[in-house]
Structure 1
Amino acid sequence: MRVYLFILTFFASLSVFAQKDEIDFDAIDSLYREDQFYINFTYNSLRKTPDGFSQNKFATSFALGFLRDMPLNKSRTFAIAAGLGYSFSVYNQNIVITNVGGNNTYNLIGQDVNYSKDKLSLHFVDLPIEIRWRNSTPESHKFWRIYTGLKLSYLFYDSYKFVSTTTNIKSSGNTDLNAFHYGAYAAVGWNTLNLYMYYGFNPLFTSSAKIDNQSIEMSTLNIGLMFYIL
């Protein structure tokens, strides 16, 4: 009988403590962080292209990742954030890449060549660091934002494919591509939907990649949409 009384008393005590420590999910969190997953879709426009160069199909990029928010002021309207992500870029253009004697050669495709595909695909690990302004409040996470920062990207895989009526080329591991890329970006918008732009500072290729003894100095400008998800 004493055992039953002890068990009853024990569980009754737990119930009292549980009620005292019950979480109020509706309480306002004045120390909130805007930790966010992000997804963006952009159009790739290439700058500093060689004479005769053209992008013959719609070139796109896709990126996703996570950003850790670190507020800088009491109202938490200013912050810095750092994150980790993945991005995938496709470039459809008229430069054919062939391997001769273990070395890559680059040539612009003549107008008399009938081809259906000339695609370079790049996969990156991204490290974004940004400064953030927003007019968020503890009561609402729907707000205007201006986020801008720098992004360092490491190229971990590349593939190239060219298909014409007479030739079919597939390759990967092009050592003439820059392994590290860096640039500035900005995201401006309301709530989940934001305009996004990235400006690459360094070229896609190293100085080893040449057309008619001129280095290929193309760099990328990406414009599209950024989605932030809490």
Structure 2
Amino acid sequence: MKYHLFVSIFFLMSFVCCFAQEEHINEEVDSLYKEDQFYAGVTYNLLGKKPANVSQSGFSLGFHLGFIKDMPINKNRNIAIGLGLGYSANSFNQNLLINKDNGGVTYSVLESSSTYTKNKFSSHLIELPIEFRWRTSTATDYNFWRIYMGFKLGYVLTHTTKYKGDLGKIRYSDIEAFNDFQYGLTLSAGYNTWNVFLYYALNPIFSSDARLNGNKMDMNAVKIGLMFYIL
């Protein structure tokens, strides 16, 4: 239900973005213009540095919304620093079962013979994006090329693990299994409305105490998708 809401918001913002430039035609030229201060995106979420036998299944989605204050740093205003605040919801469908045993958290890989219809973990984050921005925009040209490189720090508000299968229904919220902070490198590049977006996490999803077969899990998040910007 939550994801249906996120999808609706995403497509609404995409629609607004497609027509936002037309509204500027009747505006006066602003020599102190700023660009791309609101964003909305959707990503396909991947797991990097997976342990042996851990694999993904299904479609793992991420939805991203936020505001970035655009601060041009040159006379032409086509180079800027962006500092913002955003919200992100992400899910990862995979075959790593997260359970509890005697009060502790356990991790195991579901066997190929196991029957289950759902096994995933998800998270909701507040994020602080920082970007170095280059673009070909002018005070009167709203269709332009852009390359935005940056760093994003996220604080996990809540996380959930869900399993449904031959072991029954297993669900946990906010267990001590995940890192509270996530941070990584970002890249947005494209023309006008359509922009490819990449995120590569620099730290693991799980805490240092998480062990699979006695080995530390260094799995990180890799996100690939589309980002839309609105003035």
Settle same-fold status: TM greater than 0.5.
Answer: yes
Q: 1:228 maps to what in 2?
A: 229
Q: 1:12 maps to what in 2?
A: none
TM-score (norm 2): 0.87
Q: 1:111 maps to what in 2?
A: 112
- With 179-188 and 160-169 compared, the bigger mean Cα shift is at 160-169
TM-score (norm 1): 0.87
Q: 1:139 maps to what in 2?
A: 140
Q: Aligned Cα RMSD in Å?
A: 1.0
Deviation at 1:216, TM superposition (A): 1.2
Q: 2:49 maps to what in 1?
A: 48
Q: 1:100 maps to what in 2?
A: 101
Structure 2: distance between partners of 1:193 and 1:68: 20
Structure 2: distance between partners of 1:229 and 1:144: 14
Task: Name the amino acid aligned to 1:188.
Answer: A
Structure 1: distance between partners of 2:129 and 2:222: 16
Structure 2: distance between partners of 1:97 and 1:35: 40
For residues 21-76 of structure 1, give each alpha carbon's deviation from its aligned partner in whole angstroms, at most 9, with x where no partner exists: xxxx6421111111521011111111111111110111111100001000001110
- Cα 1:43/1:26, change in 2 over 3 Å: closer
Q: 1:70 maps to what in 2?
A: 71
Pair 1:203-2:204 in alignment: yes
Deviation at 1:206, TM superposition (A): 1.2
Deviation at 1:192, TM superposition (A): 1.7
Structure 1: distance between partners of 2:94 and 2:143: 40
Task: Name the amino acid aligned to 2:45.
Answer: N
Structure 2: distance between partners of 1:33 and 1:54: 43
Task: Name the amino acid aligned to 1:191.
Answer: N
Q: 1:9 maps to what in 2?
A: none
Tell me how many residue pairs correspond in the alignment: 206
For residues 108-152 of structure 1, give each alpha carbon's deviation from its aligned partner in whole angstroms, at most 9, with x where no partner exists: 001121111001111000000000001111112211100010000
Gaps of 5+ in 2: 1-25
Q: 1:60 maps to what in 2?
A: 61
Deviation at 1:165, TM superposition (A): 2.5
- Cα 1:178/1:26, change in 2 over 3 Å: closer
Structure 2: distance between partners of 1:209 and 1:37: 36
Structure 1: distance between partners of 2:52 and 2:93: 16
Greater gyration radius: 1
Pair 1:180-2:142 in alignment: no
Q: 1:6 maps to what in 2?
A: none
Moved over 3 A (4+): none
